[in-house]
Chain A
Amino acid sequence: MTRIDELRILVPVDVSGTEPPPLDVLDHLGAVEVVLLGYFPVPDQAEPALLRDQYGSKATDRLDAVADEHGDPAEVLVFTHDREATIDRIADEYDCDAVLTAGRSTVVERVLVPLRGDVNLNRILAVVADLLLAGNETATLFHSVPEDTDPTQGELLLMGAVDRLVEYGVGRDRVDWQLSKGGDPQTDIVELGAEYDLVVLGETDPSLRERIIGNVLSAIVDALDVPALIVRDVE
């Protein structure tokens, strides 16, 4: 179990809109390295090169403006038919540990960390530890168990996770946990998330069902109006 030494996050920004996304959260994350990905969504009908020719300089300016406001991080600009694929590729290329989505928060004091299970748990906790050690937020670990199951399993998971963070050097008073019984995890996370400044989620491989009807994770991210940090599952 190793810590991630230098937390590097990818921040995708839609550069086709005139309104810059709310990224104040970036200035409150402490010492993380940021890669700013400006993407310009290209509809199926248009050739990416067509939009690049027409909007290339405007997109560059917008991306530069966002970068200027947030400490001049590395920038990448892409004209793409497929936003998700682009984010994946750039995150791979730049070796990013997590992807940050924009949200309305202006400070980061309370972080919500929903945990699904053992999948990707190590990396999620490593990223959370890095975040907490770099700043002075508090975190709430969250897990949801179905109605009829024994809740001890969930409690064990959460307490184990807290211990893990403490091992990393996070003060125990900065971490608490919450177990929900019988609710729909997706709704719970969205509702609870509204009370926090940042939600840290773990990426999982989409199931076949998700591939066809849409990803649960992106549904949660879309419903949240606070920023979300999606920890990539690279193993």
Chain B
Amino acid sequence: MSVEGNELERTLGFVEAMTLGGGTMIGAGIFILPGIAAETAGPASSISYAIAGFVALLAALSLSELATGMPIAGGSYHYVNRALGGLFGAIVGWGMWTGLMFASAFYMIGFGQYLVEPIPFLDGRVFIVGLGLVGLVLLLGVNYYGTEESSAFQNVTIGVETAIILVFVAVGVFFIDPGNLEPFAPFGPGGVVATTGIVFISFLGFEIIATVAGEIKNPGRIIPLSMILSVVLVTILYVLVMLVSTGVIPFESLGDSPIPVSDVAVTYLGPAGVVAIVFAAIIAAISSSNSSILAASRVIYAMGRDGVVTDWFNVSHPQFYTPHRAIAATGGVTALLILVGLEVETIIALLAEAASFSFLVAYSLVHISLVVFRRADPDGYDPSFTLPRPLYPAVPILGVVLSLVVVSQMATVVVVIGSGIVAFGVVWYATYTRGRVVSEGLLSEAIRGKPAEPFRVVVPVANPATQRGLLRLAAASAHANEDRGTPELVAVNVTPVAHPSPFQNVEADRFEHQRELLKSAHDIAAEMNVTLRTRTVVAPDVGEAILDVLEEEVADEAILGWDGTLGRDGHVFGATVDPVVRNASCDVSLVNLKNETIGTPVALIAPGHNAPVIAHQAVEFATVDGTVPTLLNVQPPRGKSGSDAEERGRSVVVDAAEAAGLDPGEYEVQVVVNDDIGRAIVEATSQYDTVCVGLSGRTEGSRIPFGTVTERVVHDVPSNVALIRGS
């Protein structure tokens, strides 16, 4: 029996997504940064957290829409790469990777600080760096060997962490000395904005929800909800922590502390509080660093998949199935960054700011990507969550502006480092990526504002005698629809086998036949100046295989050959054709070619939703020989004067032609008034070279409705007959 593809799993619900996003965010940032933040912004650093949270919220909103539209690994990198092309993809990819390494190094030094500082005789930077390195090596080891999903353990860790912070805030509120909050913003708005750049790193992590979008149940609801809610809740928590910290201890002395939260806690929670805070800080550092390493390996995977970096990183370990090379590379660079801490005293702030820089740049490009996706509206991008007006375009515009404002207030050295990484991305693209991958992005389409989609006509070919005629009709159809897209033909040949397997030998002469067929298809296409692709399929069921191709190619039209026999072996048209006519989701023309010339086509028009499709098809076929088709309607002579019937018929035809978007000059009208409709039709249509008849409407269930008129045309008219079924 069938194997149902290689499925990936959707296992994450709302609670899981919240703990994943919130848990990744609530981390080392809040335990390490309040000191530095207080130093540069005073009590107003709580405003810095609020602004950073707002910037993160804007990014979360844009990411939500993109993630529900493209639930595929890679997050921001992937969206930017698709929207803006390989150059920006490389910039954001490298930016995110290095940003995550900066963040990871930052967490591990913070980890060292919290371990070392409370122990008086173990002071010193060497110890801090050393402990950070030990922690990192342990983490890398665990990740190299691989861990199984342990959401229970994660939930406990996050729960404990959050509980400790909540106690810290809830008790701390009563110990706030209002005098400490005066002056609120000693360094002015500039200091507040500059601090925003440092503390933005505390919000890294909400994006993880977007990167695992493919594993989230009911993504259209849960992704935006959990992203927005986790960012908002975490922002509130951070603002409160900052208010309590600067309210309990004067910001000047808080600024001197590498372990600010613990220093605050000791004043009102005593030694037990310090132990709790140190414990929380350490597990926070470990879990944040761990998430960064995991996120980095996902970014590298996505970059390797798109060819932006070598796929070498993505070979998974033969035994542990982890992307061990990506993990080792990330760990190696992170270790070097930690070691820099030996020489640079302000390493903590520097790492935090550099990581924030990378992500602010990435998120502003994400906002632009959202606009590009909206404008270009590519195939397959169908987000189940869209930003309502006026959030769109307010969110992306505000997002880009705010990110740039924050970046502009960063320390010069950080701007230099960050720009260096961006420049590296550019150079990388120019020297490595370009030429390797063709990913142009959607930018040009977005500017044009109209998708440059092909108008694709699929033609199954099997018989050398009829394929020329079919391809000519297909080419004419495609050309006639140039306003809907670039004409493109796809010729398919299906080789039926009982059990398809890549190892099975299909008889050699079959292949020879197929090769000949498709080669001559190419020749015909070249003559007719139309793009042709050929596809060969080996499948047990020809009809099903053709349906699959129609689906894959997102075909606009299918033109099938048919020998004109009806009702054979319990099928209407035949075992191959029936399922296509029944199930194809595009327009289908079933053509019985009796003569070489297409000549002047006639279309049988009767009221109904299929009529415009038939009329249009006749016009398309007429272009083969440059003729003007006739749209024919037959009316019974009701009433006394024949002219009424004539009028009725004409209006039926004109209505259909208008619905099909035809100009009056593109067709002739013929109305026949006769009692015996069937005979009149046969007589009238026999005058033409090709007859287009409709299959009545959309088929339901297994039945293909097949009118008696159509049947008579098939049997009695000597011309070419095309049976047309609208989508």
Contacts and interface: CB of A to CB of B under 8 A. Distances in A.
A50 B301 contact: yes
A212 B152 contact: yes
B2 A43 contact: no
7 contacts: A46-B316, A46-B321, A50-B73, A56-B6, A77-B5, A78-B8, A85-B9
A53 B311 CA distance: 12
Contact of A48 (B9, B147, B152, B315): B9
Contacts of A50: 73, 301, 314, 316, 323
Please give me the 3 A-B residue pairs with the lowest Cβ-Cβ distance, nearest first. A43-B146, A85-B11, A80-B9
A151 B323 CA distance: 56
A86 interface: yes
Among B1, B2, B10, B214, the most chain A Cβ lie within 10 Å of the Cβ of B1
A64 B500 CA distance: 14
A43 B6 CA distance: 17
Interface in A160-195: none
Interface string B6-49: 11111100000000000000000000000000000000000000
Given A54-B316, A75-B2, A75-B3, A82 B156 contact: no
B9 A79 contact: yes
A44 B334 CA distance: 20
Nearest to B10: A89
Q: Which range contains the number of B residues in contact with the other chain?
A: 35 or more
B9 A43 contact: no
A166 to B, nearest CB: 36
A92 interface: no
B317 to A, nearest CB: 9
Contact of A59 (B4, B6, B305, B320): B6
Most buried by B among A42, A50, A77, A85: A50
Contacts of B314: 50
Nearest to B5: A77
B9 A78 contact: yes
Contacts of A46: 146, 297, 301, 316, 321-323
B1 A72 contact: yes
A205 B6 CA distance: 30
A42 B11 CA distance: 13
B9 A44 contact: no
Given A46-B322, A56-B6, A80-B11, A75 B294 contact: no
A211 B156 CA distance: 11
B156 A42 contact: no
A7 B591 CA distance: 49
B698 to A, nearest CB: 30
A81 B322 CA distance: 12
A77 B4 contact: yes
A45 B294 contact: yes
Given A50-B73, A50-B323, 19 more contacts: A41-B148, A41-B321, A42-B321, A43-B146, A43-B320, A44-B147, A45-B146, A45-B322, A46-B316, A49-B8, A50-B301, A52-B6, A74-B2, A76-B7, A77-B6, A80-B9, A81-B148, A89-B9, A89-B11
Contacts of B148: 41, 43-44, 81
B143 interface: yes
Contacts of B321: 16, 41-43, 46, 51
Contacts of B345: none
B9 A45 contact: no
Given A45-B143, A47-B73, A75-B1, A86 B316 contact: no
Interface in A50-109: 50-54, 56, 59-60, 63-64, 67, 72-82, 85-86, 89
Interface in B119-174: 143, 146-149, 151-152, 156
Contacts of B263: none
A116 to B, nearest CB: 23
Listed residue (B146, B321, B327) with the most chain A CB atoms within 10 angstroms of its CB: B321
A79 B152 contact: no
A41 B2 CA distance: 21
Contact of A45 (B4, B5, B10, B147): B147
